[in-house]
Structure 1
Amino acid sequence: MGRNLLRRQNVIMKFSFLSFKFFSGPACLCKPAFQGSGGPYPLHCLSATRLRGPFQPGVGFNLKKRDCSLPRAKKIRPAFARKLFLIALSCLVFMTSCASAQELASANTKDADGKGISQESLLDASDTYASEQDQLLEKEIQEELKKKKKKSSKSKKAKEKDKATLIEEEVAAMKSGEETQNGVRRKELELPGIEHELSQKFLRQYLTASGQKVLVRSLENAAPYLPYILEQLKERNMPLILQYLPIVESNYLPNAVSRSGATGIWQFMANSMAPYLEKDSWYDERRDPWKSTDAALSKLEYNFRFFGDWELALAAYNCGAGAMGKFVKKNPGKDFWYLAENEILKKESILYVPKLLAIADIIENAHYYGATGIEEAVKAIENVEPEKFTYIKTAGMFSFNQISKATGVSKTKVKTLNPALFRNCTPAREVYSLRLPGDMPADTEEKLKKQGVATDAVMYTVKEGDSLWGISRRYGITVEDLCSVNEISEKKVLSIGKKLIVPIFN
């Protein structure tokens, strides 16, 4: 009995010490029911107590007398200790789950071969405006696939088998040029690579109902500019597939701006526009589809002369000729597909060319794929001649309202033909080439001068107490002139901090 008691007392002492170290203060101790009375056998669990340590004066075990003495302490309910334990356990489980989820997400970025890009991340990889918009398309595609899954009664194995068979048949038909049920042969693209798995993933995504809607909208946006782009591609003897590159970049929206600041249908960055385009406080030529088209095609021509390969030239347009030059230098004699498959290029550049090939293949072979909406959109802009323009020189600032009055062209049309002018007027202190419809009379420039030109302008910030009348009187102009330039109503109440263009007439 004595030995058992000693063992029990030693266990109690060790447990109290470990508990103190673990909880950094509270210690779980056991004490005799009758402290100091020599009755050590009935032990009761004591809740966590605030002690400086398990060993302190007046605390310990008398081995000879087989007695133990402990100070009295404030009791805390055992439930508190259990709650602490459950909280710690929950945190441990949560951190383990996070780590597992991270490993799973990392694993999902690989394709079937172990070194490709997952289908879910395809539309989310690029920093261009179009790719940001395609994130919405990705959601629509996933919803569409869920609906189809509910309607279908096939088993999972049967679905996978049918899907694999369909893909094999598509690729085989592409390689052999076989006729489809629609009675047409698939048109070959000017650039190779449509059979590549990355191109096939984009192809499947854009052939969904949601994907086709995106392409139809893009072709509708392209209607005013596509004839001019085609004309320039033919004159420069460049691949006609490049007419679809603005869909990859911006969905053919002139005012598209990406998160990184890339602007226009060709998504030029401010640091990559020189020497092709200009930008100042009055205009941004990246927003002009005609000027930016000339700039983009010149840049692509330069890339092709430098790399001697259109796939590399396209990827260089995305990541920069300097960066592509470094990749090629480190991997001499290797083509784009080698650099992509071995993930030598950045993710955005890897997906750039396959996405273009998939979009071009669907549009060029809309009847082949049974994409009736795309086929109709193509016919609407097919064989359309490029619009002819008249250019007049403006020396000073003219508002769109003044231009509309002098020329008879609607303000909306003036704005559409000159999207680079984001101030709704021609720039002050410089000569600007204004674009107007091609059937303008010869005296249009003289008529415009009679409207009264502002040779200078001031950017004014509205302060407390300002009014249109007060500002116009301060600068010696009429309220009508001030409102015309800023396209605001004469009754408008100005908000503090608003920027106004104030024309200065000599």
Structure 2
Amino acid sequence: MVLLPRILIFFLISLLVPLPGHFESREASADETPLPLLPGLEEAVEFWKLVFTRHGSSELIFHDAQEPMKIYKVLQVGENDPPRRLIEEEQGKILREYDLGRDEKRVRVQRGIKERFASGLRTSRKYLEQMQRIFLEEGLPTDLAYLPLVESSFDVHARSRAGALGIWQFMPSTGKKFLRISSAVDERRDPVESTRAAARFLKQNYEIFGNWPLAITAYNHGREGILRAITEVGSKDLMEIIRRYQSPSFGFASKSFYAEFLAALEVARRSEEFFPALDYHPPFPLEEIEVKRPVAIAALLKPTDIPRSEFLEWNPALNPNIRDIPTGYRVKVPAEKLELFLAAYQRVVEPSSVRAKALPVREGAVSWTRHRVAPGETLSQIAKNYQLSVEEIQQANGLASAHLIAAGRQLKIPRR
């Protein structure tokens, strides 16, 4: 296959992306469009359900790469990776026994991940409600919030060999387009910030490709790779691309990524059936305080009696070795700790303004709440209700006009 020049790739993207002003109709269809089980993917979905729910990490599944539910053998091994020689010997035996010729790629090996998937389900409940709200605010299917079950099993510290990090497994190059990444802060590890980034990224994918099967596959395989596939095959039908597109980089993992996601989604929806004894983590919603100037973590935590380890668990984006929280970082704290942290922040940043018995107006730190715009509601009415100026709400939400505001939109409301 001849690879497309980079300039042609960007030209194709420009043709596929809708013009400004057309996004609203596309967004509406995104909200209505289901995540369909495409004809021909049923077997792949059933295979991944077995991997997620029946086979543990000590089991290797030898299966047909073209017909994944054709399982030739399940081999019991230890937790460590078995020698490559052992796998090749087993593949050779299967090729001979089933008269498959010498094509070793025909017999694929998959380790079971039942324990890891169950752990991901348990942890997902901690963040899921907040994540689904983010997708809802972007006008996207809320079921997309389950994609980290496939990417990372909701492990905020998950890191791939290639350098992808966090529950959404952003590579540094992509992450920097949406998130703050520095020696002090890496928001790829923050489940809230990285979900906001993933929602924007998936929204762009949907705008480019026009359907969720391709948009989700592109999350794994890359936009340019899917554009090459569309150009070569002449279709934006995922099943056509799976059947006809030939590329060394478009292997089993990319071809089955959408099916893997659908399987994870089904198991999550029926989790009590597949994992009846699982002890789920309770929801853990967090409030945000935007730091307006650097503040020492130790000085902030000392008056609160909150262990540093607990604070870092709330804020996994922070480098655990830093002393100061950098300017602009949004500190995450549980709702019940919000006032305590605001008081501690002000005592550190503006000690002269703190009186003995009363906490003054929050000048140095900003926390946020959310407001959904009701039909007919104006920005001036909202500002009056929250005792803010129209300009403050405009600035917090990047609104160029105070008159163009859609019903149903979620606004960030600063609380000082």
Which TM bucket (shorter chain)?
A: 0.5 to 0.7
Which residue in the other structure is 1:447 paired with? 347
Correspondence 1:196 to 2:32: no
Residues 232 and 349 (structure 1 numbering): CA distance in 2 closer, same or farther, change over 3 Å?
same
Deviations 1:137-183 (A, max 9, x none): xxxxxxxxxxxxxxxxxxxxxxxxxxxxxxxxxxxxxxxxxxxxxxx
**Counterpart-to-counterpart distance in 1, 2:326 and 2:214:** 42
**Counterpart-to-counterpart distance in 1, 2:254 and 2:177:** 23
Is the Cα contact below 8 Å between 1:407 and 1:448 reproduced in 2?
no
Which residue in the other structure is 2:258 paired with? 353
Deviations 1:230-255 (A, max 9, x none): 11222333223312210111110111
**Counterpart-to-counterpart distance in 1, 2:326 and 2:271:** 50
**Counterpart-to-counterpart distance in 2, 1:428 and 1:359:** 37
Matches within 5 A, 1:386-405: 387-393=285-291, 395-399=293-297, 401-405=298-302
Choose which of 335, 342, 346 in structure 2 pairs with 1:438.
335
Query: In structure 2, the residue corresponding to 1:224 is in which secondary structure?
Result: helix
Choose which of 417, 424, 429 in structure 1 pairs with 2:314.
417
The residue type paired with residue 285 of structure 2 is E
Is the Cα contact below 8 Å between 2:185 and 2:318 reproduced in 1?
yes
Count of residue pairs the alignment pairs up: 256
Residues 372 and 203 (structure 1 numbering): CA distance in 2 closer, same or farther, change over 3 Å?
closer
The residue type paired with residue 346 of structure 2 is E
**Counterpart-to-counterpart distance in 1, 2:255 and 2:208:** 19
The residue type paired with residue 411 of structure 1 is R
Taking only the aligned residue pairs, the percentage that are identical comes to 24
Matches within 5 A, 1:358-397: 358-366=263-271, 370-373=273-276, 376=278, 384=283, 387-393=285-291, 395-397=293-295
**Counterpart-to-counterpart distance in 2, 1:354 and 1:265:** 19
Is the Cα contact below 8 Å between 1:426 and 1:432 reproduced in 2?
no
Is the Cα contact below 8 Å between 2:242 and 2:255 reproduced in 1?
yes
**Counterpart-to-counterpart distance in 1, 2:126 and 2:307:** 17
**Counterpart-to-counterpart distance in 2, 1:430 and 1:364:** 40
Is the Cα contact below 8 Å between 1:264 and 1:287 reproduced in 2?
yes
Query: In structure 2, the residue corresponding to 1:225 is in which secondary structure?
Result: helix
Residues 344 and 309 (structure 1 numbering): CA distance in 2 closer, same or farther, change over 3 Å?
farther
Deviation at 1:337, TM superposition (A): 1.6
Q: How does the TM-score come out when normalised to structure 1?
A: 0.46
Is the Cα contact below 8 Å between 2:235 and 2:241 reproduced in 1?
no
Choose which of 142, 146, 151 in structure 2 pairs with 1:249.
151
Q: Which moved more, 1:231-240 or 1:271-280?
A: 231-240
The runs of 5 or more residues in structure 1 that have no matched partner are 1-188, 452-506
Deviation at 1:313, TM superposition (A): 0.3
Q: How does the TM-score come out when normalised to structure 2?
A: 0.56
Query: In structure 1, the residue corresponding to 2:313 is in which secondary structure?
Result: helix
Which residue in the other structure is 2:243 paired with? 341
Deviation at 1:206, TM superposition (A): 2.3
Correspondence 1:302 to 2:204: yes
The residue type paired with residue 237 of structure 1 is G
Deviation at 1:372, TM superposition (A): 3.9
Deviations 1:12-48 (A, max 9, x none): xxxxxxxxxxxxxxxxxxxxxxxxxxxxxxxxxxxxx
More relative contact order, 1 or 2 (CA 8 Å, 6+ apart): 2
Deviation at 1:272, TM superposition (A): 1.0
Which residue in the other structure is 2:190 paired with? 288
The runs of 5 or more residues in structure 2 that have no matched partner are 1-33, 57-112, 352-416
Matches within 5 A, 1:126-165: none
Which residue in the other structure is 1:13 paired with? none
